[in-house]
Amino acid sequence: MNAQQANRKEKTMTKYVEENERIKHEYGVYLRHAKGQDETSIDKARAAIRRFEESTKFKPFKKFHRQQAADFKDYIGRLKNERTGKPLGFSTVDSMLRLVKGFFHWLVSRTGFKKVISYAAVEYFNNTRTAGRVAH
């Protein structure tokens, strides 16, 4: 196997942290039954959380630090729309930040995360005021 094939294989391999997957499943159940969201909305939340995991190179949620939120904003700021090749739109970025922030707000209330993640740290997912105004 040459280097190019190995690189392609690595990209196609699914990366995940087992504990994170359980937590994301619980969050999906919460969104469905407690918040009454449909599968489309839940899938969007899962996709946004997955992007966050990609930006942290799949670190466990229990290792969250506010710098990861700031790094995530930079990460999605560099992403391109798959169809057009242009940077993601303001509303897409804003939506992604709100979805991930909502997940971490829920996570803060979970046993085992109260000591690790603070509400103040979760606020680092806020978009800039200017970008937020443009998005809305």
pLDDT confidence band for 5 (50 / 70 / 90)? very low
* Cα–Cα nearest to 58, from 26, 22, 21, 92: 21
Whole-angstrom Cα Rg for the chain = 16
| pLDDT above 90: residue 88 | no
For range 11-38, the mean pLDDT: 88
CB contact at 8 A, 64 and 110: no
* Residue 80: predicted pLDDT: 86
Q: How many residues does the chain have?
A: 136
The 10s digit of each residue's pLDDT in 26-75 is 999 999 999 999 999 999 999 999 999 999 999 999 999 999 999 999 99
What pLDDT is attached to residue 66?
92
d(CA 132, CA 123): 14
Q: Please, where are the H alpha helices in 56-114?
A: 66-78, 90-108
Average pLDDT over residues 61-90: 90
pLDDT tens figures, 98-130: 999 999 999 999 988 988 899 999 998 987 766
Please tell me the predicted confidence (pLDDT) of residue 33.
97
Q: Residue 58, Cβ neighbours under 10 Å: how many?
A: 13
pLDDT at 132 over 60: no
